[in-house]
Protein backbone atom coordinates (compact mmCIF):
# COMPACT_ATOMS: atom_id res chain seq x y z
CA UNK A 1 0.00 0.00 0.00
CA UNK A 2 1.11 3.58 -0.62
CA UNK A 3 1.06 6.40 1.93
CA UNK A 4 -2.47 7.49 1.05
CA UNK A 5 -3.83 3.96 1.41
CA UNK A 6 -1.99 3.36 4.67
CA UNK A 7 -3.33 6.61 6.10
CA UNK A 8 -6.90 5.71 5.15
CA UNK A 9 -6.46 2.34 6.85
CA UNK A 10 -4.83 3.92 9.91
CA UNK A 11 -7.81 6.24 10.38
CA UNK A 12 -9.94 3.14 10.91
CA UNK A 13 -7.79 2.16 13.88
CA UNK A 14 -6.41 5.34 15.47
CA UNK A 15 -7.86 8.80 16.28
CA UNK A 16 -6.81 10.96 13.36
CA UNK A 17 -4.95 8.00 11.91
CA UNK A 18 -1.93 8.48 14.18
CA UNK A 19 -0.61 7.63 17.64
CA UNK A 20 0.63 11.15 18.41
CA UNK A 21 -1.22 14.21 17.08
CA UNK A 22 1.55 16.13 15.28
CA UNK A 23 2.20 13.15 13.00
CA UNK A 24 -1.12 13.72 11.23
CA UNK A 25 0.28 16.66 9.17
CA UNK A 26 -2.78 18.77 10.08
CA UNK A 27 -0.59 21.85 10.57
CA UNK A 28 1.37 21.60 7.32
CA UNK A 29 -1.17 19.85 5.10
CA UNK A 30 -0.84 16.71 3.05
CA UNK A 31 -0.78 13.03 3.93
CA UNK A 32 1.65 11.65 6.54
CA UNK A 33 4.53 9.56 5.28
CA UNK A 34 4.68 5.98 6.50
CA UNK A 35 8.28 4.89 7.00
CA UNK A 36 9.70 1.39 6.87
CA UNK A 37 13.42 1.78 7.52
CA UNK A 38 16.08 4.30 8.44
CA UNK A 39 19.85 4.59 8.56
CA UNK A 40 22.11 7.48 9.44
CA UNK A 41 20.40 10.75 8.57
CA UNK A 42 17.97 9.18 6.10
CA UNK A 43 14.80 7.19 6.09
CA UNK A 44 12.66 5.50 3.45
CA UNK A 45 8.88 5.49 3.21
CA UNK A 46 6.58 2.71 2.06
CA UNK A 47 6.74 4.09 -1.50
CA UNK A 48 10.54 3.70 -1.46
CA UNK A 49 11.07 7.45 -1.39
CA UNK A 50 14.19 8.52 0.50
CA UNK A 51 14.15 11.54 2.84
CA UNK A 52 16.77 13.49 4.75
CA UNK A 53 15.45 13.35 8.31
CA UNK A 54 15.54 16.70 10.14
CA UNK A 55 13.32 15.46 12.95
CA UNK A 56 15.27 12.42 14.22
CA UNK A 57 12.29 10.94 16.08
CA UNK A 58 11.88 14.26 17.96
CA UNK A 59 15.38 14.20 19.41
CA UNK A 60 16.49 10.80 20.75
CA UNK A 61 18.75 9.88 17.83
CA UNK A 62 21.79 12.07 18.45
CA UNK A 63 24.00 9.47 16.74
CA UNK A 64 21.63 9.03 13.80
CA UNK A 65 19.32 6.18 12.86
CA UNK A 66 20.50 2.60 13.42
CA UNK A 67 23.99 3.45 14.64
CA UNK A 68 26.05 0.24 14.29
CA UNK A 69 27.26 0.23 17.92
CA UNK A 70 23.74 0.67 19.27
CA UNK A 71 22.29 -1.97 16.96
CA UNK A 72 25.06 -4.41 17.92
CA UNK A 73 24.48 -3.87 21.64
CA UNK A 74 20.70 -4.22 21.35
CA UNK A 75 20.96 -7.30 19.13
CA UNK A 76 23.18 -8.96 21.71
CA UNK A 77 20.81 -8.10 24.55
CA UNK A 78 17.73 -9.40 22.70
CA UNK A 79 18.94 -12.99 22.92
CA UNK A 80 19.03 -12.70 26.72
CA UNK A 81 15.38 -11.70 27.09
CA UNK A 82 13.09 -8.78 26.29
CA UNK A 83 12.00 -7.85 29.80
CA UNK A 84 12.45 -9.25 33.28
CA UNK A 85 10.21 -7.23 35.58
CA UNK A 86 13.10 -7.55 38.02
CA UNK A 87 16.43 -5.77 38.58
CA UNK A 88 19.24 -6.24 36.06
CA UNK A 89 22.86 -5.17 35.89
CA UNK A 90 22.01 -3.02 32.87
CA UNK A 91 20.02 -0.62 35.06
CA UNK A 92 23.08 -0.15 37.26
CA UNK A 93 25.34 0.33 34.25
CA UNK A 94 23.21 3.06 32.69
CA UNK A 95 22.66 4.79 36.04
CA UNK A 96 26.41 4.71 36.70
CA UNK A 97 27.08 6.31 33.31
CA UNK A 98 24.44 8.99 33.80
CA UNK A 99 25.77 9.84 37.26
CA UNK A 100 29.29 10.19 35.86
CA UNK A 101 28.01 12.69 33.28
CA UNK A 102 25.61 14.55 35.59
CA UNK A 103 27.21 14.52 39.06
CA UNK A 104 24.47 16.54 40.81
CA UNK A 105 22.10 13.56 40.47
CA UNK A 106 22.41 11.68 43.75
CA UNK A 107 19.57 9.19 43.21
CA UNK A 108 17.38 8.42 40.23
CA UNK A 109 14.45 6.29 39.09
CA UNK A 110 13.91 4.94 35.56
CA UNK A 111 10.44 5.04 34.00
CA UNK A 112 9.21 4.48 30.44
CA UNK A 113 8.53 8.01 29.13
CA UNK A 114 9.18 11.68 29.69
CA UNK A 115 5.56 12.19 30.71
CA UNK A 116 5.94 9.55 33.44
CA UNK A 117 9.18 11.14 34.61
CA UNK A 118 7.61 14.58 34.96
CA UNK A 119 4.43 13.25 36.56
CA UNK A 120 6.52 11.40 39.12
CA UNK A 121 8.77 14.41 39.76
CA UNK A 122 5.69 16.49 40.55
CA UNK A 123 4.35 13.84 42.93
CA UNK A 124 7.61 13.42 44.83
CA UNK A 125 7.95 17.22 45.11
CA UNK A 126 4.52 17.39 46.71
CA UNK A 127 5.33 14.49 48.99
CA UNK A 128 8.64 16.01 50.04
CA UNK A 129 7.34 19.53 50.72
CA UNK A 130 3.85 18.69 51.98
CA UNK A 131 2.55 21.37 49.61
CA UNK A 132 0.20 21.09 46.63
CA UNK A 133 0.72 24.04 44.27
CA UNK A 134 2.80 23.84 41.10
CA UNK A 135 4.26 26.59 38.92
CA UNK A 136 4.93 26.13 35.21
CA UNK A 137 5.72 28.53 32.38
CA UNK A 138 3.82 29.42 29.24
CA UNK A 139 5.42 27.84 26.19
CA UNK A 140 7.01 24.94 28.09
CA UNK A 141 5.66 21.45 27.45
CA UNK A 142 6.00 18.72 30.05
CA UNK A 143 4.04 15.82 28.62
CA UNK A 144 0.34 15.10 28.88
CA UNK A 145 -0.28 14.57 32.59
CA UNK A 146 -3.33 16.40 33.96
CA UNK A 147 -1.43 18.70 36.32
CA UNK A 148 0.63 20.20 33.49
CA UNK A 149 -1.83 20.50 30.60
CA UNK A 150 -2.76 23.88 32.03
CA UNK A 151 -2.83 27.40 30.59
CA UNK A 152 -2.67 30.74 32.38
CA UNK A 153 -5.72 32.26 34.02
CA UNK A 154 -6.68 35.91 33.68
CA UNK A 155 -4.10 37.34 36.05
CA UNK A 156 -1.03 36.73 38.18
CA UNK A 157 -2.92 35.61 41.27
CA UNK A 158 -5.51 33.50 39.45
CA UNK A 159 -5.64 29.75 39.11
CA UNK A 160 -4.65 27.94 35.93
CA UNK A 161 -7.20 26.62 33.46
CA UNK A 162 -7.19 23.25 31.65
CA UNK A 163 -5.66 23.35 28.16
CA UNK A 164 -7.31 20.04 27.25
CA UNK A 165 -10.77 18.60 27.62
CA UNK A 166 -10.98 15.90 30.26
CA UNK A 167 -9.02 17.75 32.96
CA UNK A 168 -11.11 18.81 35.97
CA UNK A 169 -10.87 22.41 37.11
CA UNK A 170 -10.09 21.06 40.56
CA UNK A 171 -6.82 19.69 39.16
CA UNK A 172 -5.81 22.70 37.09
CA UNK A 173 -6.49 25.08 40.00
CA UNK A 174 -3.38 23.72 41.70
CA UNK A 175 -1.13 24.80 38.81
CA UNK A 176 -0.21 28.40 38.04
CA UNK A 177 1.31 29.56 34.75
CA UNK A 178 3.70 32.49 34.27
CA UNK A 179 5.27 34.00 31.15
CA UNK A 180 8.85 33.08 30.38
CA UNK A 181 11.66 35.61 30.64
CA UNK A 182 9.79 37.92 33.02
CA UNK A 183 11.64 38.36 36.32
CA UNK A 184 9.16 40.93 37.64
CA UNK A 185 6.22 38.52 37.27
CA UNK A 186 8.31 35.75 38.79
CA UNK A 187 9.17 37.76 41.89
CA UNK A 188 5.60 38.96 42.34
CA UNK A 189 4.29 35.40 42.13
CA UNK A 190 6.72 34.05 44.71
CA UNK A 191 5.93 36.93 47.06
CA UNK A 192 2.27 35.88 46.93
CA UNK A 193 2.53 32.09 46.70
CA UNK A 194 6.10 31.00 47.41
CA UNK A 195 5.31 29.51 50.81
CA UNK A 196 2.55 27.35 49.25
CA UNK A 197 4.55 26.15 46.25
CA UNK A 198 5.63 22.52 46.08
CA UNK A 199 7.58 22.89 42.85
CA UNK A 200 8.40 25.09 39.90
CA UNK A 201 9.01 23.22 36.65
CA UNK A 202 10.63 24.64 33.52
CA UNK A 203 12.42 23.57 30.38
CA UNK A 204 15.76 25.36 30.83
CA UNK A 205 15.88 25.38 27.05
CA UNK A 206 12.21 25.61 26.03
CA UNK A 207 12.03 23.65 22.77
CA UNK A 208 8.50 22.29 22.49
CA UNK A 209 6.77 25.49 21.39
CA UNK A 210 9.51 26.99 19.31
CA UNK A 211 13.06 27.45 20.58
CA UNK A 212 12.53 30.08 23.27
CA UNK A 213 16.05 30.78 24.49
CA UNK A 214 15.94 32.52 27.86
CA UNK A 215 18.03 35.22 29.49
CA UNK A 216 20.11 33.30 32.03
CA UNK A 217 19.29 35.91 34.65
CA UNK A 218 15.73 34.61 34.56
CA UNK A 219 16.78 31.01 35.24
CA UNK A 220 19.19 32.10 37.97
CA UNK A 221 16.49 34.13 39.69
CA UNK A 222 14.10 31.17 39.53
CA UNK A 223 16.77 29.04 41.20
CA UNK A 224 17.26 31.66 43.94
CA UNK A 225 13.55 32.01 44.63
CA UNK A 226 12.97 28.27 44.85
CA UNK A 227 15.81 28.05 47.35
CA UNK A 228 14.46 30.99 49.37
CA UNK A 229 10.94 29.55 49.61
CA UNK A 230 12.06 25.91 49.90
CA UNK A 231 10.19 24.94 46.74
CA UNK A 232 11.57 22.16 44.57
CA UNK A 233 13.05 23.35 41.27
CA UNK A 234 12.47 20.82 38.48
CA UNK A 235 14.32 21.11 35.19
CA UNK A 236 12.56 19.24 32.38
CA UNK A 237 15.51 18.17 30.25
CA UNK A 238 13.72 15.51 28.25
CA UNK A 239 14.87 17.37 25.11
CA UNK A 240 17.98 19.23 26.25
CA UNK A 241 19.43 16.44 28.39
CA UNK A 242 22.59 15.03 26.74
CA UNK A 243 21.65 17.01 23.62
CA UNK A 244 23.31 20.40 24.24
CA UNK A 245 26.21 19.20 26.39
CA UNK A 246 27.31 16.01 28.19
CA UNK A 247 25.40 17.25 31.24
CA UNK A 248 22.54 18.95 29.41
CA UNK A 249 21.37 22.51 29.93
CA UNK A 250 22.10 22.28 33.65
CA UNK A 251 25.79 21.73 32.98
CA UNK A 252 25.90 24.13 30.05
CA UNK A 253 24.46 26.99 32.11
CA UNK A 254 25.90 25.93 35.49
CA UNK A 255 22.44 26.27 37.04
CA UNK A 256 21.38 23.16 38.90
CA UNK A 257 17.85 22.01 39.81
CA UNK A 258 16.74 19.92 42.76
CA UNK A 259 15.15 17.35 40.44
CA UNK A 260 15.76 16.80 36.74
CA UNK A 261 13.79 14.75 34.22
CA UNK A 262 15.28 13.05 31.17
CA UNK A 263 14.04 10.98 28.25
CA UNK A 264 14.78 10.64 24.54
CA UNK A 265 18.60 10.33 24.29
CA UNK A 266 18.98 8.21 27.44
CA UNK A 267 16.98 5.50 25.66
CA UNK A 268 18.98 5.59 22.43
CA UNK A 269 15.72 5.31 20.47
CA UNK A 270 13.91 3.07 22.95
CA UNK A 271 11.18 4.24 25.39
CA UNK A 272 12.87 5.50 28.57
CA UNK A 273 12.38 8.30 31.07
CA UNK A 274 14.17 9.23 34.28
CA UNK A 275 13.72 11.54 37.21
CA UNK A 276 16.43 12.13 39.76
CA UNK A 277 18.30 14.61 41.89
CA UNK A 278 18.78 15.33 45.57
CA UNK A 279 18.88 12.18 47.68
CA UNK A 280 16.72 13.67 50.45
CA UNK A 281 13.94 14.27 47.91
CA UNK A 282 14.36 10.99 46.03
CA UNK A 283 14.38 9.04 49.30
CA UNK A 284 10.68 9.89 49.55
CA UNK A 285 10.02 7.52 46.63
CA UNK A 286 8.76 4.03 47.48
CA UNK A 287 9.96 1.61 48.74
CA UNK A 288 12.20 3.97 50.77
CA UNK A 289 9.46 6.52 51.33
CA UNK A 290 5.71 7.17 51.12
CA UNK A 291 5.52 8.50 47.53
CA UNK A 292 4.29 5.66 45.33
CA UNK A 293 5.50 5.13 41.77
CA UNK A 294 5.93 1.88 39.85
CA UNK A 295 6.09 0.52 36.31
CA UNK A 296 6.04 -2.88 34.63
CA UNK A 297 8.67 -1.92 32.05
CA UNK A 298 10.70 0.53 34.13
CA UNK A 299 14.38 -0.26 33.65
CA UNK A 300 13.64 -2.48 30.65
CA UNK A 301 16.92 -4.27 29.80
CA UNK A 302 16.74 -3.59 26.06
CA UNK A 303 16.11 0.11 26.60
CA UNK A 304 18.91 0.26 29.18
CA UNK A 305 21.26 -1.36 26.68
CA UNK A 306 20.38 1.07 23.88
CA UNK A 307 20.75 4.03 26.22
CA UNK A 308 24.13 2.93 27.54
CA UNK A 309 25.47 2.21 24.06
CA UNK A 310 24.45 5.73 23.03
CA UNK A 311 25.83 7.56 26.06
CA UNK A 312 29.16 5.75 25.82
CA UNK A 313 29.72 7.45 22.45
CA UNK A 314 28.98 10.96 23.71
CA UNK A 315 32.08 13.01 24.48
CA UNK A 316 33.22 16.62 24.24
CA UNK A 317 34.41 16.20 20.66
CA UNK A 318 30.95 15.06 19.57
CA UNK A 319 29.33 18.14 21.10
CA UNK A 320 31.95 20.37 19.52
CA UNK A 321 31.14 18.80 16.15
CA UNK A 322 27.39 19.22 16.63
CA UNK A 323 27.86 22.83 17.73
CA UNK A 324 29.64 23.62 14.46
CA UNK A 325 27.04 21.75 12.42
CA UNK A 326 24.21 23.60 14.11
CA UNK A 327 25.75 26.90 13.03
CA UNK A 328 26.33 25.63 9.48
CA UNK A 329 22.83 24.28 8.99
CA UNK A 330 21.18 27.36 10.49
CA UNK A 331 23.02 29.52 7.93
CA UNK A 332 21.55 27.38 5.15
CA UNK A 333 18.05 27.89 6.55
CA UNK A 334 18.75 31.62 6.52
CA UNK A 335 19.33 31.53 2.77
CA UNK A 336 15.53 31.52 2.59
CA UNK A 337 14.23 35.09 2.32
CA UNK A 338 12.85 36.24 5.68
CA UNK A 339 14.00 33.15 7.58
CA UNK A 340 15.86 33.35 10.87
CA UNK A 341 17.14 30.24 12.56
CA UNK A 342 17.98 30.49 16.26
CA UNK A 343 19.84 27.43 17.46
CA UNK A 344 21.59 25.93 20.45
CA UNK A 345 23.96 23.13 19.59
CA UNK A 346 22.13 20.71 17.32
CA UNK A 347 18.63 22.10 18.02
CA UNK A 348 17.44 24.54 15.34
CA UNK A 349 14.21 26.43 14.81
CA UNK A 350 13.51 28.10 11.45
CA UNK A 351 11.05 30.96 11.81
CA UNK A 352 9.98 33.93 9.75
CA UNK A 353 10.00 36.83 12.20
CA UNK A 354 12.38 38.42 14.71
CA UNK A 355 13.70 36.25 17.54
CA UNK A 356 11.19 35.46 20.29
CA UNK A 357 11.56 34.38 23.92
CA UNK A 358 7.86 33.73 24.65
CA UNK A 359 5.35 31.57 22.83
CA UNK A 360 2.82 34.42 22.79
CA UNK A 361 5.18 36.33 20.48
CA UNK A 362 5.04 33.71 17.72
CA UNK A 363 3.23 35.20 14.72
CA UNK A 364 0.74 33.27 12.64
CA UNK A 365 2.44 34.58 9.50
CA UNK A 366 5.65 32.81 10.57
CA UNK A 367 3.79 29.52 10.96
CA UNK A 368 2.18 29.98 7.54
CA UNK A 369 5.59 30.56 5.97
CA UNK A 370 6.97 27.48 7.70
CA UNK A 371 4.08 25.39 6.35
CA UNK A 372 5.00 26.45 2.82
CA UNK A 373 8.64 25.60 3.53
CA UNK A 374 7.65 22.15 4.79
CA UNK A 375 5.55 21.48 1.70
CA UNK A 376 8.36 22.59 -0.59
CA UNK A 377 11.10 20.61 1.11
CA UNK A 378 9.20 17.36 1.58
CA UNK A 379 8.59 17.29 -2.17
CA UNK A 380 12.37 17.56 -2.56
CA UNK A 381 13.26 14.77 -0.15
CA UNK A 382 13.75 16.74 3.08
CA UNK A 383 11.60 15.85 6.09
CA UNK A 384 11.10 18.72 8.53
CA UNK A 385 8.99 18.40 11.69
CA UNK A 386 5.35 18.71 10.54
CA UNK A 387 4.65 21.82 12.64
CA UNK A 388 6.12 25.30 12.72
CA UNK A 389 6.09 25.16 16.51
CA UNK A 390 8.46 22.19 16.59
CA UNK A 391 12.24 22.34 16.44
CA UNK A 392 14.62 20.58 14.08
CA UNK A 393 17.27 18.14 15.33
CA UNK A 394 20.61 17.24 13.81
CA UNK A 395 22.67 14.16 14.56
CA UNK A 396 26.23 12.96 14.17
CA UNK A 397 25.08 11.43 10.87
CA UNK A 398 24.28 14.86 9.39
CA UNK A 399 27.62 15.29 7.66
CA UNK A 400 28.93 17.26 4.67
CA UNK A 401 27.06 15.23 2.00
CA UNK A 402 23.79 15.77 3.87
CA UNK A 403 24.52 19.47 4.28
CA UNK A 404 25.25 19.81 0.56
CA UNK A 405 22.04 17.97 -0.31
CA UNK A 406 20.05 20.18 2.05
CA UNK A 407 21.55 23.35 0.64
CA UNK A 408 20.81 22.21 -2.92
CA UNK A 409 17.15 21.58 -2.06
CA UNK A 410 16.85 24.96 -0.33
CA UNK A 411 18.23 26.67 -3.43
CA UNK A 412 15.75 24.79 -5.60
CA UNK A 413 12.69 25.86 -3.63
CA UNK A 414 13.76 29.53 -3.43
CA UNK A 415 14.69 29.79 -7.11
CA UNK A 416 12.16 31.56 -9.35
CA UNK A 417 11.39 28.28 -11.10
CA UNK A 418 10.95 26.44 -7.79
CA UNK A 419 12.23 23.16 -9.16
pLDDT in tens, 200-256: 999 999 999 999 999 999 999 999 999 999 999 999 999 999 999 999 999 999 999
Domain ranges (residues) in the chain: 3-67+315-414, 68-311
Asked if residue 277 lies in contact with residue 259, where contact means CB atoms within 8 angstroms, the answer is: yes
Q: What tens digit of pLDDT does each residue of 3-36 get?
A: 999 999 999 999 999 999 999 999 999 999 999 9
pLDDT (0 to 100) of residue 157: 44
* pTM score: 0.95
- Is 141 in the active site? yes
Mean pLDDT along residues 357-374: 94
Please check the confidence at residue 155 and state whether its pLDDT lies above 60: no
> How large is the average pLDDT for residues 282-301?
97
Collect all residues with Cβ–Cβ distance below 8 Å to 198 and sequence separation of at least 6.
122, 125, 126, 128, 129, 131, 132, 133, 134, 231, 232
Tell me which fold the domain 68-311 belongs to: 3.40.640
Residue 158: pLDDT over 60: no
Mean pLDDT of 405-416: 93
Of 33, 136, 264, 275, the catalytic one is 264
Q: Identify the active-site residue in 7, 51, 141, 275.
A: 141
CATH of 3-67+315-414, one of 3.40.50.11750, 1.25.40.10, 3.90.1150.10, 3.20.20.190: 3.90.1150.10
Tens of pLDDT, residue by residue over 62-114, are: 999 999 999 999 999 999 999 999 999 999 999 999 999 999 999 999 999 99
Of these residues, 45, 53, 181, 236, which one is catalytic? 236
* Residue 225 CB partners (closer than 8 Å, separation 6+): 186, 187, 190, 194, 200, 231
Which of 164 and 326 is assigned the larger pLDDT?
326
Q: Could you confirm whether 236 is annotated as catalytic? A: yes
Q: What share of the chain is helix, strand, coil (3-state, %, to 5)?
A: 40, 15, 45
Environment class of 189 (CB within 10 Å of its CB; exposed 0-12, middle 13-18, buried 19+): buried
Question: Is the confidence at residue 156, as pLDDT, over 50?
Answer: no
State percent of the chain over pLDDT 70: 97
Amino acid sequence: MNNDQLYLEAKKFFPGGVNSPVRAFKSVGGVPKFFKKAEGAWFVDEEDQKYLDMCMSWGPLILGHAHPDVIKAVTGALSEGLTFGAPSRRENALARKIKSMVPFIEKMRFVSSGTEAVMSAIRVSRGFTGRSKILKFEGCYHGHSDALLVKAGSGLATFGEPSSAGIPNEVSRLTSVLPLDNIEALESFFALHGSELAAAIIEPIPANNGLLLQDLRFLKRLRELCTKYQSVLIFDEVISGFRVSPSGASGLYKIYPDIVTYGKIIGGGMPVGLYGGRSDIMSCVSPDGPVYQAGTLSGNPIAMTAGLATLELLDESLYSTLLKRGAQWSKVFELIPGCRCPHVGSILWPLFQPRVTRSSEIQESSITSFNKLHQGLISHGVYLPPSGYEVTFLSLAHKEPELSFFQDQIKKIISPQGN
